[in-house]
Chain A
Amino acid sequence: MKFIDEYRNVELGKKLIARIHQRSTQPARLMEFCGGHTTAILRHGIRQLIPQNIDMLSGPGCPVCVTANADLDKAIASAHLPNTIITTFGDMMKVPGSHSSLQQAKAEGADIHVVYSTQDALQIAQDNPQSSVIFIGIGFETTAPTIAASILEAEQKGIKNFYIFSFLKLCPPVIKAILNLGEVRLNGIIGPGHVSTIIGSHPYEFIPKEYGIGCVISGFEPLDILLCIDKLVEQIEGDQPQVEIAYRRSVKPGGNRRALDLMNEVFEIGEANWRGMGTIPASGLKLKRKYQRFNAEQIFSIDPGPPREPKGCICGEILRGIKMPTECKLFRRICTPEHPVGPCMVSSEGACAAYYQYGVN
């Protein structure tokens, strides 16, 4: 496929790897914030190909994984409301909440539909005017504009039975939170490619300015990632940290203006609850007052009770980059994609699932 195959050219990849080996002399710890990068890096064996002095950690960039149990529990509880249809991205189905999962709720009779797009959720709302249709809004800035668009479409078409949970989260504030925690010493950041397609590269400028490390925005094909690592190595060796875009075919410094406008029309910035990190101020998106009639948390009375964390699961520490999936005692033995204990084993871009699938022990 165009824009994919060219970036998988093995010969070019080998040469790029050779160049990284030539140029990298210092120990470098890089964090890829995006779960899509974690998966791509493991799938293409990039960790094994780069010099040993470069260490790669995965971060909190898997939306399903960072959804706190308290929020997940609300979504699961709402599935038992009368006359209600839940619509959700598929990855959420198997995630174990404190007491149950969406999959279990469905088995118990709740009406839950896996959708590929908010467009499908809107269609379900139109087809079932007598039911309340709730969409579980998880995701980062990549997904937020699509959810904003669906709210505006519902408003414009007068669809009155469509609601969302907004568990949407923002990337730059969580990058900042990780850097402030200071639990891992990072030398560079692999910036999220599709989040940045929306927000551009400017929101990362604080990283070199305040923390003295670079951030290079990367695409998801092997050559994209290698090019990004090469640029980070160059920055580290030359001690010139900066924000760069190594995914120029998709990311513009100013992002996608239209998508940002829609997002800002519907949402305002508020606190968000992150698995492993708790509440981070100004790190999430909440519906503006004007759009409160779409707010499932506001409209329905849902009380799932206090959340509980899965026993023995270290997802929170993995999402902060301080532990590897293989350090979890349950990894592969008790926790598997068929029987996941925590969300990092469920989501296709969760670190545990990626380590499991690509056979890292």
Chain B
Amino acid sequence: MCLAIPVQVVSIKDSEAEAEIGSVKRRINICLTPEVKVGDYVLLHTGYAINVIDEAEARETLRLLEEIASLSEIH
């Protein structure tokens, strides 16, 4: 029910946008994420974007995971 999937916004018109899901384009509602820009990834939940995914934080988490992994090798 709280399922949400990352999709990329490919065009925006007022409170509606088009997002690419796999290779399919779908209309999504962006009234909860007024800051969204074309090219951003959003989490899509029941037809609404519920946030804009923070790419910098995503990279940071992956860096942290790599770091943890390398630490566990030393032990």
Contact = CB atoms under 8 A, between A and B. Distances in A.
Interface of A: 1-4, 6, 9, 11-12, 15-16, 18-19, 22, 34-36, 61-64, 89, 91, 116-120, 138-140, 142-143, 145-146, 149, 192-195, 197-198, 223, 227, 230, 246, 248-250, 252, 256, 258-259, 262, 347, 349
A198 B66 CA distance: 28
A140 B1 contact: yes
Contacts of B33: 256, 258
Contact of B32 (A36, A89, A118, A145): A145
A89 B1 contact: yes
Contact of A139 (B1, B53, B54, B61): B1
B54 A250 contact: yes
A117 B46 contact: yes
Contacts of A227: 61, 64-65, 68
Contacts of A61: 2
Nearest to A18: B72
B63 to A, nearest CB: 11
A262 B32 contact: yes
B41 A35 contact: no
A12 B71 CA distance: 11
B2 A116 contact: no
Interface range on chain B (Cβ under 8 Å from partner): 35 or more
Nearest to B55: A249
A76 to B, nearest CB: 19
A138 B1 contact: yes
B71 to A, nearest CB: 7
A63 B41 contact: no
Most buried by A among B2, B32, B41, B72: B2
Contacts of B54: 248-250, 252
Contacts of A192: 2
Interface string B8-37: 100000000000001000000101111000
Contacts of A91: 1
Mostly, the B contact residues are: mixed
A248 B57 contact: yes
A135 B64 CA distance: 43
A146 B75 contact: no
A194 B5 CA distance: 10
Going nearest first, the 4 A-B pairs with the smallest beta carbon separation are A117-B47, A15-B69, A249-B58, A19-B72
Contacts of A116: 46-47
Contacts of B66: 12
6 contacts: A3-B6, A9-B65, A143-B46, A145-B32, A258-B31, A347-B1
Given A117-B47, A194-B3, A262-B31, 18 more contacts: A1-B5, A4-B5, A15-B73, A19-B75, A36-B3, A62-B1, A91-B1, A117-B48, A120-B47, A143-B2, A143-B45, A143-B46, A145-B48, A146-B45, A197-B51, A250-B53, A258-B33, A347-B1
B65 A16 contact: yes
A15 B72 contact: yes
